[in-house]
């Protein structure tokens, strides 16, 4: 995606500050407090907290999942963009709050932004179908959190290469569910309940799994320093050479999976999306191999 397209998404996210300020201005007036805090002070704080996340998105430090769907799905419906971006922000903010070592003041910035985004999300006029998908999504996030703990223990206790590989793939299969809602939102809006929608979501998971593995490998040193235990951190304990073999085998698995899933899609309206997804998956894997395996 071009910088222009990323800016379109991050600018839209930043503009949600105005929505918070409108509500807060009404609240402050209703309270009829004599010593009223100028609305500019709220604005300054919200601009600071939102910029903290936007900057990470722009630098590629945090995953902007909406960006992938925006790039892949033709005529992406702008009606769901704000909902998608606020969900994206919530997951990113929760991830950092849980995983990163922070001073109290820095943690406060994240918590303020999380509450601000929750307020924006709850202002959205969404259908019952989308509400159900969002509810399902947060249960998936809970599932990811629990299964990652389980599978990291399985990886540690695995007795051979194939067991570790199997448990690592299973762990990333679960982790990749954090992409689902960002594919589902625009597809529901455009195609309703198309029969192949689940297969497009499955391709989204394959792409997401590849991206998480790449990011976990890139962040290996940082994660070890922060005491953040990813599957890649656990696998790294067996040595660099064997770690690279694990990652290579995982990439080959997801390459094969993408081809299998693509063949299942017969809906002509969704074939273009499937082709773009598979092309992106294969490109991500090829670039990683070239950079790390020569």
Rounded Cα distance between 241 and 121, Å, is 45
Per residue of the chain (294 residues), what is the pLDDT tens digit?
455 568 899 999 999 999 999 999 888 888 766 566 788 999 999 999 999 999 999 998 999 999 999 999 988 999 999 999 999 999 999 999 988 888 999 999 999 999 999 999 999 999 899 999 999 999 999 999 999 999 999 999 998 999 999 999 999 999 999 999 999 999 999 887 667 899 999 999 999 999 999 999 999 999 999 899 999 999 999 999 999 999 999 999 999 999 999 999 998 889 999 999 999 999 999 999 999 986
* Exposure string for 154-175, b = 16+ CB within 10 A, e = fewer: bbeebeeeeebbbbbbbbbbbb
Q: What is the pLDDT of residue 3?
A: 53
Residue 114 sits at the vertex; the CA angle it makes with 176 and 96, to the nearest 5 degrees, is: 50
| Structure-token pair, residue 251 | 């990439």
| Structure-token pair, residue 68 | 């992938």
Q: Delimit the domains of the chain by residue range.
A: 1-125, 127-294
Q: What is the pLDDT of residue 80?
A: 94
Q: Residue 138, Cα to own-chain centre: how many angstroms?
A: 13
Rounded Cα distance between 198 and 201, Å, is 5
Comparing CA positions, the residue from 179, 257, 168 lying closest to residue 211 is: 179
Whole-structure pTM value? 0.92
Comparing CA positions, the residue from 119, 151, 121 lying closest to residue 137 is: 121
Half-sphere exposure at residue 147, Cβ-oriented, CA atoms within 13 angstroms: 18
Token match 């799994």: residue? 209
User: Three-state SS across the chain?
Assistant: CCHHHHHHHHHHHHHCHHHHHHHHHHHHHHHCCCCCCCHHHHHHHHHHHHHHHHHHHHCCCCCCHHHHHHHHCCCCCHHHHHHHHHHHHHHHHHHHHHHCCCCHHHHHHHHHHHHHHHHHHCCCCCCHHHHHHHHHHHHHHHHHHHHHHHHHHHHHHCCCHHHHHHHHHHHHHHHHHHHHHHHHHHHHHHHCCCCCHHHHHHHHHHHHHHHHHHHHHHCHHHHHHCCCCCHHHHHHCCCHHHHHHHHHHHHHHHHHHHHHHHHHCCCHHHHHHHHHHHHHHHHHHHHHHHHHHC
Non-local (6+) Cβ contacts of 203 within 8 A are: 258, 261, 262, 274, 277, 278, 281
Non-local (6+) Cβ contacts of 109 within 8 A are: 48, 49, 52
Non-local (6+) Cβ contacts of 202 within 8 A are: 261
At residue 31, φ and ψ (nearest 5 deg) are -70, -25
Rounded Cα distance between 243 and 236, Å, is 5
């Amino acid at each position: 995606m071009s910088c222009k397209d990323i800016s379109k998404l991050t600018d839209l996210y930043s503009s949600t500050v105005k929505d918070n300020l409108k509500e807060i201005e009404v609240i402050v007036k209703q309270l009829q407090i004599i010593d009223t805090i100028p609305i500019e002070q709220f604005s300054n704080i919200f601009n600071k907290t939102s910029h903290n996340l936007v900057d990470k998105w722009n630098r590629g430090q945090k995953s902007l999942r909406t960006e992938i769907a925006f790039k892949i799905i033709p005529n992406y419906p702008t009606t769901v963009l704000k909902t998608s971006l606020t969900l994206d922000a919530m997951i990113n903010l929760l991830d950092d709050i849980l995983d990163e070592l922070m001073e109290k003041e820095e943690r406060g910035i994240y918590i303020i932004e999380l509450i601000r985004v929750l307020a924006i999300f709850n202002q959205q006029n969404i259908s019952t179908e989308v509400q159900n998908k969002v509810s399902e999504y947060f249960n998936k996030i809970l599932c990811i959190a629990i299964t990652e703990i389980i599978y990291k223990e399985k990886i540690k206790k695995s007795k051979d290469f194939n067991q570790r590989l199997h448990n690592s793939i299973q762990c990333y299969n679960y982790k990749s569910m954090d992409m689902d809602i960002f594919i589902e939102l625009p597809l529901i809006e455009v195609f309703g309940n198309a029969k192949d929608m689940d297969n497009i979501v499955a391709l989204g998971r394959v792409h997401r799994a590849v991206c998480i593995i790449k990011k976990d490998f890139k962040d290996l040193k940082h994660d070890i320093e922060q005491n953040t235990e990813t599957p890649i951190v656990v696998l790294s304990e067996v040595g660099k050479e064997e770690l690279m073999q694990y990652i290579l085998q995982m990439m080959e698995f997801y390459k094969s999976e993408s081809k299998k899933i693509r063949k299942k899609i017969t809906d002509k309206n969704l074939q273009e999306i499937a082709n773009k997804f598979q092309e992106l998956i294969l490109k991500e894997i090829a670039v990683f191999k070239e950079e790390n395996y020569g």
